[in-house]
């Protein structure tokens, strides 16, 4: 089949870390024998961004029409994102027309891109399928007039939801359950696997004599990097690795690593750690957790539905994400018991086998094919 992918988050030479999880999935489609074209609108204001030599092997044809971003600000009943959306719609329409692109269906990643796709490509009368990975759809509805939201969602032929919470929210917006495929995020096992811990610590000049806690994600309050720091800073012989960036930057003697790193370094750094900790307040389906367990790490995270979909007690301890004492206690219970820690690590590796990205890509395309046949 000829697949047209629409996603405004997709790696580029300017932003190699943008939408890596989207890129990892989309790269599987050509491997399954399909012809894939990606349209990823690019903010014209990013012209001066520093470029890298490569963001990875590209198996798709990628077009990056320039667009304009008006941010996401509410002014009375109007949200400035609608200007951004219109600019991206025009950019997609120009790209399809200019290159005479042919496609059997559209795959859009995230609801915002789904709305852009259905409104940009109406005249082609091709089905549009949308991957829903947002942390919470009601937050999104505030950006659109009610009638526009309802009209656009009706134009979408099918949805891939990464969590039961998102599936239920779609049903609440009137989407028939038959149009929703529940499939959590998955991992590329050729990249994310357990490395030798001592070797990775030596490579990144990390202390050999400490137990290490790993955090991966935006340095934002809802992700909880400062809560992780507070939980570990009074633990003896424990250090913390922070991979990410954002306004809540963790600092102090407990921090042994703090950088925004390219995606290929993340599994190496995870393999250097002893436990993964993410006290997040909301998720879609957490890529960071899926990647951590593929590297054999026990998990301390949040007792929220979307994380509970991914984790079980054999390799995780889920707590109130705002309770620093509970986070600290969970970390101590794992790091203080070598037998328990090893058992949880083995269970994490075994559980991760259920989330292989090639199988996920194949299942998604099978769902799309069945919906098109209907």
Residues 166-205 have pLDDT tens digits of 999 999 999 999 999 999 889 999 999 999 999 999 999 9
Tell me the mean pLDDT in the region 145-165: 93
Angle subtended by helix axes 324-335 and 338-352, to nearest 10: 100
In a domain, 191, yes or no: no
> For tokens 């970390």, what's the residue?
331
pLDDT in tens, 303-336: 998 899 899 999 999 999 999 999 999 999 999 9
47 & 176 share domain: yes
The enclosing domain of 254 has a CATH number of 3.40.50.2000
235 & 125 share domain: no
217 & 172 share domain: no
Q: Is 360:183 a contact under the CB 8 Å cutoff?
A: yes
In a domain, 181, yes or no: yes
CA atoms within 13 A on the CB side of 305: 11
Q: Is 282:136 a contact under the CB 8 Å cutoff?
A: yes
56 & 80 share domain: yes
Confidence of residue 49 (pLDDT cuts 50, 70, 90): low
Q: Which of 45-49, 215-219, 280-284 has the lowest mean pLDDT?
A: 45-49
Q: Is 36:10 a contact under the CB 8 Å cutoff?
A: no
157 & 180 share domain: yes
pLDDT in tens, 62-97: 999 998 888 888 888 888 988 999 999 999 999 999
266 versus 49: the higher-pLDDT residue is 266
Tell me the mean pLDDT in the region 220-248: 96
In a domain, 192, yes or no: no
In a domain, 212, yes or no: yes
pLDDT in tens, 262-303: 888 999 999 999 999 999 998 878 989 999 999 999 999 999
179 & 268 share domain: no
pLDDT at 47: 62
Q: What residues make up the domain containing 123?
A: 2-186+357-373
Confidence of residue 21 (pLDDT cuts 50, 70, 90): confident
pLDDT in tens, 96-152: 999 999 999 999 999 999 999 999 999 999 999 999 988 778 878 888 988 999 999
pLDDT at 48 > cutoff 70? no
149 & 209 share domain: no
Distances (CA, A) of 300 to 185, 256, 308: 19, 19, 11
231 & 168 share domain: no
DSSP H helices, the chain, are 20-26, 28-31, 81-98, 111-120, 137-141, 146-154, 164-172, 197-203, 225-232, 266-271, 287-294, 305-308, 324-335, 338-352, 357-373
**Closest among 273, 342, 353, 279 to 314, alpha carbons compared:** 342
pLDDT at 136: 75
pTM of the model: 0.81
Q: How many domains does the chain have?
A: 2
């Amino acid at each position: 089949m000829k697949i047209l992918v629409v996603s405004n988050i997709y790696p580029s030479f300017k932003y190699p870390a943008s939408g890596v999880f989207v890129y990892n999935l989309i790269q599987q489609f050509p491997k399954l024998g399909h012809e894939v074209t990606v349209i990823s609108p690019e903010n014209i204001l990013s012209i001066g961004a520093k470029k890298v030599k490569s963001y990875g092997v590209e198996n798709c044809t990628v077009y990056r029409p320039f667009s304009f971003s008006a941010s996401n600000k509410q002014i009375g009943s109007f949200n400035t994102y609608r200007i951004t959306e219109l600019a991206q719609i025009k950019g997609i329409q120009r790209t399809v027309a200019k290159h005479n692109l042919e496609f059997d269906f559209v795959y859009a990643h995230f609801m915002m891109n789904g709305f852009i796709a259905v409104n940009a490509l109406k005249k082609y009368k091709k089905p549009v399928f949308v991957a829903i990975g947002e942390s919470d759809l009601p937050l999104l509805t505030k950006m659109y007039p009610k009638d526009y939201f309802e009209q656009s969602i009706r134009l979408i032929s099918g949805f891939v939801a990464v969590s039961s919470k998102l599936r239920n929210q779609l049903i609440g917006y009137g989407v028939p359950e038959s149009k929703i495929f529940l499939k959590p995020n998955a991992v590329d096992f050729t990249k994310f696997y357990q490395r030798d811990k001592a070797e990775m610590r030596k490579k990144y000049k990390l202390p050999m004599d400490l137990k290490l806690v790993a955090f991966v994600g935006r340095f934002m309050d809802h992700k909880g990097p400062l809560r992780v720091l507070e939980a570990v800073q009074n633990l003896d012989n424990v250090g913390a690795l922070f991979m990410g960036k954002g306004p809540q930057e963790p600092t102090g003697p407990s921090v042994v690593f703090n950088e925004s790193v390219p995606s290929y370094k993340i599994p190496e750094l995870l393999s250097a750690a002893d436990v993964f900790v993410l006290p997040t307040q909301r998720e879609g389906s957490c890529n960071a957790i899926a990647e951590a367990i593929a590297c054999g790490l026990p998990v301390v995270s949040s007792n929220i539905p979307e994380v509970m979909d991914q984790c079980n007690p054999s390799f995780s301890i889920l707590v109130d994400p705002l309770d620093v004492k509970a986070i600290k206690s969970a970390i101590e219970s794992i790091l203080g018991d070598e037998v328990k820690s090893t058992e949880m690590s083995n269970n994490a590796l075994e559980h991760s086998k259920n989330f292989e990205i090639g199988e996920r890509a194949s299942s998604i395309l099978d769902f799309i094919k069945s919906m098109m046949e209907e």
